């Protein structure tokens, strides 16, 4: 019987120096990693605390913008539209087909100028007929008058009968009446012919053309195939702004009060104006009163139906502030004087940053900035003693 013995020499512990050092390094690396992990967590926590949980000053920002002195000192602002006070939709007095149209949009016209004409052949024929009838009656008049005068002499000399005299007298008067009727017919035919011409009622400018050659025009637009107004004209020298003013503010408006007018289409152009009329009635649906503001002077840029803004100026300051150039302004509360200099504060990386500026005129609640800022720059709206250079802030 053979005994199998196990070789235990392979189970010896390897005690070489290199492997022992590697084990010691592993013992130190793990604590170091843990230590640095705590450092990173602490740093992140500190940043979170300082940025989100530490005390910050709440602030509001305001934008630097350009504004005229009139805007800053206006006692009231209203919006409205440019409206021509003399405007007419010119229509035909007769019904007919349009055969001539001599104007287009933008043309300047004079009073009584022929703008358009409708077909007139039938009217001309009636006029010729009326004239012929008048000529015929005038010819009859010569014969009737001579017979009347002859019978009158014979009757006066008792050589003719009374019946013959009365007959010739009646015939003469009938012819006279026929002449008057014929004259009236001629006059009517001339009026009808004139009604085929569409004339300008006053000097103005053509705003719209509402009909074209070949269309039927009529005074009332009696059917879907007919037009009433052929053109619309306006007197461009009668432009005014019609603005709605709240009933609660109407007492602040006075006749001839100075105003400044700006058009939405040309916001940087200012036009001087004045209160021309306060319409003596209110609009119950809007609780407003219409105020008509006339231009003191204006140019060709001003067109009817343009939207406009009106600044009603203080009676004492009106003439002084109107037509001044726009200035860069911010609220007075955004400016602070420290150590002989004037500062505003911008916000950068959640910190207040001090910016030195040079100021100019004060107007109402605003102050002019001459240097240090540009348009659309944002600054802290209200600067308090707590706001200093570098202080942490929170923008609301």
The answer to the question of residue 380 being in a domain is yes
Note the pLDDT of residue 307: 95
Note the pLDDT of residue 129: 93
Range in 78-92, 210-224, 252-266 with the lowest mean pLDDT = 210-224
> Domain ends where: 185, 207, 233?
233
Range in 93-107, 125-139, 151-165 with the lowest mean pLDDT = 151-165
> Domain ends where: 200, 233, 266?
233
Q: What is the domain-level CATH number for residue 354?
A: 2.40.420.20
The answer to the question of residue 19 being in a domain is no
Q: Which of 259, 269, 377 is nearest to 328 (CA)?
A: 377
Q: How many domains does the chain have?
A: 3
Question: Do residue 206 and residue 278 come from a single domain?
Answer: no
Q: What is the domain-level CATH number for residue 120?
A: 2.40.50.100
Question: Do residue 108 and residue 222 come from a single domain?
Answer: yes
Note the pLDDT tens digit of each residue in 176-225: 998 999 999 999 999 999 999 999 999 999 999 988 999 988 886 555 55
Give the residue with greater pLDDT, 50 vs 139: 139
**Mean pLDDT along residues 330-334:** 92
Question: Do residue 166 and residue 269 come from a single domain?
Answer: no
State the pairing for strand pair 288-295/266-283.
Answer: antiparallel
Question: Do residue 250 and residue 331 come from a single domain?
Answer: no
Q: Over the chain, what is the mean pLDDT?
A: 84
**Mean pLDDT along residues 286-304:** 93
**Mean pLDDT along residues 71-79:** 81
Note the pLDDT of residue 19: 47
b/e map 193-232, b = 16+ CB within 10 Å? eebbbbbbeebbbbbebbbeeeebbbeeeeeeebbbbbbb
- Rounded distance, CA 72 to CA 74, Å? 6
Specify whether the CB–CB gap between 105 and 209 falls below 8 A. yes
Question: Do residue 215 and residue 139 come from a single domain?
Answer: yes
Note the pLDDT of residue 1: 42
Q: What is the domain-level CATH number for residue 255?
A: 2.40.30.170
pLDDT at 379 over 70: yes
Give the domain range for residue 245. 75-86+237-312
**Mean pLDDT along residues 23-42:** 69
Range in 29-43, 144-158, 237-251, 353-367 with the lowest mean pLDDT = 29-43
Note the pLDDT of residue 2: 47
The answer to the question of residue 317 being in a domain is no
Instruction: List CB contacts of 164: < 8 A, sequence separation 6 or more.
Output: 151, 154, 155
pLDDT at 276 over 50: yes
Range in 20-24, 183-187, 199-203, 374-378 with the lowest mean pLDDT = 20-24
> Domain ends where: 312, 346, 378?
312
Note the pLDDT of residue 208: 92
The answer to the question of residue 157 being in a domain is yes
pLDDT at 107 over 90: yes
């Amino acid at each position: 019987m053979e005994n199998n013995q196990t070789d235990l020499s392979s189970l010896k512990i390897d005690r070489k120096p290199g492997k022992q050092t590697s084990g010691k390094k592993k013992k130190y690396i793990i604590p170091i990693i843990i230590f640095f992990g705590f450092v990173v967590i602490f740093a992140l926590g500190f940043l979170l605390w300082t940025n989100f949980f530490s005390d910050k000053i709440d602030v509001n920002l305001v934008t630097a913008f350009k504004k005229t002195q009139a805007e800053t000192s206006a006692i009231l602002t209203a919006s409205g539209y440019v409206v021509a006070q003399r405007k007419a939709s010119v229509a035909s007095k007769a019904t007919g087909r349009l055969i001539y149209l001599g104007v287009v949009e933008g043309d300047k016209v004079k009073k009584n100028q022929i703008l358009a004409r409708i077909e007139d052949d039938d009217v001309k024929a009636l006029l010729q007929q009326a004239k012929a009838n008048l000529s015929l009656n005038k010819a009859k008049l010569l014969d009737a008058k001579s017979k009347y005068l002859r019978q009158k002499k014979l009757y006066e000399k008792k050589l003719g009968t009374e019946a013959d005299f009365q007959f010739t007298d009646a015939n003469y008067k009938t012819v006279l009446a026929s002449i008057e009727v014929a004259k009236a017919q001629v006059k009517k035919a001339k009026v009808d012919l004139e009604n085929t011409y569409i004339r300008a009622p006053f000097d103005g400018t053509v705003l719209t053309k509402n009909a074209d050659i070949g269309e039927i025009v009529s005074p009332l637009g009696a059917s879907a195939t007919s037009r009433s107004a052929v053109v619309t004209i306006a007197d461009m020298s009668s432009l005014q702004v019609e603005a709605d003013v709240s009933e609660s503010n109407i007492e602040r408006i006075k006749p001839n009060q100075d105003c400044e007018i700006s058009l939405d289409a040309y916001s940087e152009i200012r036009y001087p104006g004045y209160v021309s009329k306060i319409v003596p009635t209110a609009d119950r649906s809007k609780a407003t009163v219409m105020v008509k503001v006339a231009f003191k002077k204006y140019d060709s840029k001003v067109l009817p139906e343009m939207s406009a803004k009106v600044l009603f100026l203080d009676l004492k300051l009106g003439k002084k502030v109107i037509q001044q150039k726009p200035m860069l302004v911010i609220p007075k509360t955004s400016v602070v004087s420290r150590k002989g200099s004037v500062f505003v504060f911008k916000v950068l990386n959640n910190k207040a940053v001090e910016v030195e500026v040079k100021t100019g005129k004060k107007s109402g609640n605003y102050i002019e900035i001459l240097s240090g800022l540009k348009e659309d720059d944002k600054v802290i709206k209200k600067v308090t003693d707590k706001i200093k250079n570098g202080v942490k802030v929170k923008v609301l």
